Every structure is written in structure tokens, then in C-alpha cells.
Amino acid sequence: MKTENSFSLILIIAMLLFNGTVAKSQDTIFCSIDKAEELFLKKNLFLLAAKCNIDKNNALIIQSKAYPNPVFSANFNVYDPENDIYFHNDKTGQKDFMFEQLIVLGGKRKANIEIAKTNKELAENEFSDILRNLKFQLHISFYNIYQYQNNVTKYNQQLLLLDTLINSYELQATKGNISLKDVIRLKSVYLKINNERAENIQALNSENKNIQLLIQEQGIFSPIVNNTLLESYTKLFSLDEIETNAINKRPDLIIGNKMVHMAELNFKLQKRTVIPDAVFNVSTDQRGGAFMNQINAGISLPLPLWNTNRGNIKAAKIDINYNNYLFDQRKNEIKAEVLEAYQNMDRSIKEYNKSKKLYNSNFEMVFKSVNENFSKKNISIIEFVDFIEAYNDALKEIERIKSQISISAAQINYVSGTNLY
């Protein structure tokens, strides 16, 4: 008996722990778009990795400024055959020392520093471009979740109503008061709405997974969107303003420009590589030279006779043209993206403003009136079903329009590289 009680206690504790874990994993995250961006900037692993790349290139700038280390060499006598002495290194013996220093000539060191600095600027703009792309994904997921959650809420309300009606009609059908085909008709509507609800839940779960990865938070995400926010998206900026911002501030276009600059720096470096670097040395020799304890100085440098770096210089010049072509192509693509985003925003604003005029309190009043009249048998089952389907389609369209104007605003920010909205 005691063993059974202990087992029951353990089972209860395990169930409580399991339920606590499930509840914790199912925590709802109520969040505005500003709060979502704040979490995203703090925790997104791609951004943290990109920041590491900037720090790495900062370190490489420090390295590029470093001078070559000097070289010290020493020679000692091991065996003196004339005097039959091993390690004859005292005052009557032989030893010599030398210091050598490489002197980088032709501005190559300066060119390498400029390349390192440009690499750092590339890393910074790559970070900005990653931020721009991920932020756009965040906005898409945020407003898609907002749309799907609203749809599911309305589906739940309709399914609850239909479930009550179906139960009532089934009871009346068994008594022979109404036709069974009316029950089947209601059930078919129920199944259709339930299927749409399931599709929205599936899409909702997918977007919730995406946003969890972006903000590194586990739970059910619930966006907070108010009419003030939606109204702020109804301003249409001019095409010229959006395009000017995009050309001047898009990080991917800046990267293209930096790649052209990098190719030009490499071209200069390859030309300067032809200029040989000199090696200066200072040495002292105890007895191996023409004089006792002589001090020497010297210089050595390669003669650019056979290798004048022509191949690398030519390749670097071609690389400048290559990056210029890519830069011009990217600029044309950006102009096309801006035009598309502008047209989408214009259409979204018009749809949103029109929907505000069409969708008002009359919708809910009519919905309640139709339900009451149907329950009183003042309208037919066909009229009721037709209304429910039309009403459901209208609600879905309203939610799509609200989500679409928000995503279109995010797309304007994305293509312009700025926060216009």
C-alpha cells in the first residue's frame, strides 16, 4: 500500500513537471514591431556573427600597419684546424653578428593598409545588408502572423456558432421537423471553414518558427498592431525620393562600389609590386674579414629583370572592369526593385483606404441580424450559407489588405535602405 502511494506521488509530480514544461514552451509573446526589432538586434545569431567579422577586419587593419621584424643572425667557430681548437670564439677566435631589416618600398605598405581599411568597410556594409534582409523577413513574418491569427480567431467564432446550429438542427432532424439536407449543408460549411482554419494554423506555425529563429525567443508569438500604426503606412513617398535613398544608402550597392575601389587598390598594389623591397644590414666580424673586428653595412634588393608582374597587373585591370559592370548591373536592378515596391505600395494604400470605407460597423450588425433571423427561420438555409461564405471571404480580404499594406511599407524600407516608414 505504501509502495502504491509512493508511486502515485511520483506520477503526480512527474505530470506536474511535464505540464509545467509544456506551459512554459507554450508561453505567448505579446510584442509590437518595435519590441520585435529590439529583440532581433540583441539576439539574432547572424547579426552577432557579422559583428565578429567587423571586429576581425579591425584587427587586420592593425596587422597591416605592422613593420616587418628585423632579422638577427650569429655565426660562431666550431673548429679551428690551424690551432686544433674547438669552439675558438674568444678574442683570438672568430665570431660575427648581423642585423637585417626589410624596407618595403614603392608605397606597398600604404596600399595594404588601404586594402585592410576597405575590407573593414566591406564587412560593415555586409553587416548592414544582412540586417536589412533579416529585418525585412522579420516584418513579413510579424504581419503574416497578425493576419493568420486574426483569421483563426474569426474562424473559431464562426465554427462555434455553426457547431451550435448543427447540434440544434440535428435534434430537429431526428424529430422530423426539418430536412436532413439542411444539416448536411451546415456541416459542409463547417468543414470548409475548418479546413481554411487548419491551413491558416499551418501557415501561422511556419511563420512563428521563422520569427522564433530571428529573435531567438521560444513561445507563441502574438503581434500587437493598432490602427495608428496602420494609418502611418498610408503616406506615399515619391518614386524619386525612394530611388535617391536606394542609390545613396543601399548597403549592397555600397558594397558594389567598394568592390570597384578594392579592385583599383589591388591594381595600384600590383604595379607597385614591381618596385623591389630593399634589405639593409649591419654586421660585425671579429676575424673573418679583411680587418680585425670590422663593422660592415650593406644593402640587397632583387633586380626586376625577368618578372615584372605583368600578368597580375593585367588581371587586376580586368578585375576593375568586371566589378564596374557588376556595379552598374546592380544599380539597374535596384531601380527596378524600387519601381516595383512603389507600385505595390501605391496599390496597397488604395486598397486599404477603400476597405476602410467598405468595412464598418454595418458588417457586424448585419452578421448578428442574419444569425438572429436564421435562428427564427426568417431566412432560408441557402441564404444563410451564402451569407456566411461571403462574410468569411470579406473578413479574409480585410485581414489580407491590412497585412499587405504593412508588408508593402516594410518593402519600401527594404528597397530604399532607409526607415521611411
pLDDT mean over 43-52: 90
Estimate to the nearest angstrom the gap between the alpha carbon of 165 and the chain centroid: 48
Dump pLDDT digits (tens) for 147-189: 999 999 999 988 998 898 889 888 888 888 778 888 898 899 9
pLDDT band at 14 (very low <50, low <70, confident <90, very high): very low
**Residue 221 in grid coordinates:** 508569438
Q: Render pLDDT for 264-320 as a digit per residue (tens, 0 to 9).
A: 999 999 999 999 999 999 999 988 877 888 899 999 999 888 899 999 999 999 999
Range of the domain at 343: 28-68+104-274+309-416
pLDDT at 80: 86
Residue 43 has pLDDT above 70, yes or no: yes
Q: Is there a domain that residue 229 lies in? A: yes
CA distance 222 to 33: 11
By the 8 A CB rule, do 268 and 83 touch?
A: no
Query: Is residue 52 in some structural domain?
Result: yes
Can you give the pLDDT at residue 289? 79
- Domain membership of residue 284 (yes or no) is no
In a domain, 96, yes or no: no
Q: What is the mean pLDDT of residues 12-31?
A: 52
Contacts 24+ apart (CB under 8 A), 312-318: 312/270, 312/273, 313/267, 313/270, 313/271, 313/274, 315/270, 316/263, 316/266, 316/267, 316/269, 316/270, 317/267
| C-alpha to C-alpha distances, 193 to 3, 154, 370, 385, 406, nearest whole angstrom | 51, 10, 18, 11, 26
pLDDT higher than 80, residue 7: no
What is the pLDDT averaged over residues 35-43? 92
Residue 409, pLDDT > 50, answer yes
Task: Indicate whether 288 belongs to any domain.
Answer: no
Confidence of residue 332 (pLDDT cuts 50, 70, 90): very high
Residue 6's pLDDT is 40
- For the chain, the domain total comes to 1
Q: What are the tens digits of pLDDT across the range 222-270?
A: 999 988 999 999 999 999 999 999 999 999 999 999 999 999 999 999 9
Position 24 scores a pLDDT of 42
Q: Per residue in 336-383, pLDDT tens?
A: 999 999 999 999 999 999 998 887 667 778 888 888 888 777 888 888
Nearest to 420 by CA among 238, 148, 283, 220: 238
Q: Cell 531601380, residue?
A: 335
Residue 359 placed within a domain: yes
Q: What is the pLDDT of residue 25?
A: 45
**410 domain residue, yes or no:** yes
Model pLDDT, residue 125: 95
What pLDDT, on the 0 to 100 scale, is given for residue 10?
36
Axis crossing angle, helix 251-272 with helix 108-174, rounded to the nearest 10: 160
pLDDT at residue 26, rounded to an integer: 57
Does the pTM surpass 0.85? The reply is no
Pick left, alpha or beta for residue 216 (phi over 0 → left; psi -120 to 50 → alpha; otherwise beta): left
| Residue 2: per-residue pLDDT | 40
For 79, phi and psi rounded to 5 degrees? Answer: -145, 130
Cell numbers for 173: 432532424
Which of 4-8, 323-327, 383-387, 417-421 has the weakest average pLDDT?
A: 4-8
CATH code, domain with 148: 1.20.1600.10
Rounded to whole angstroms, the Cα distance separating 364 from 391 reads: 10
108 falls within a domain:
yes
Residue 393's identity, in one-letter code, is: D
Which residue(s) pair with 308 in the sheet? none
CA distance 375 to 167: 13
Residue the block writes with cell 499551418 = 202
The percentage of the chain sitting over the pLDDT mark of 90, rounded to a whole number, equals: 65
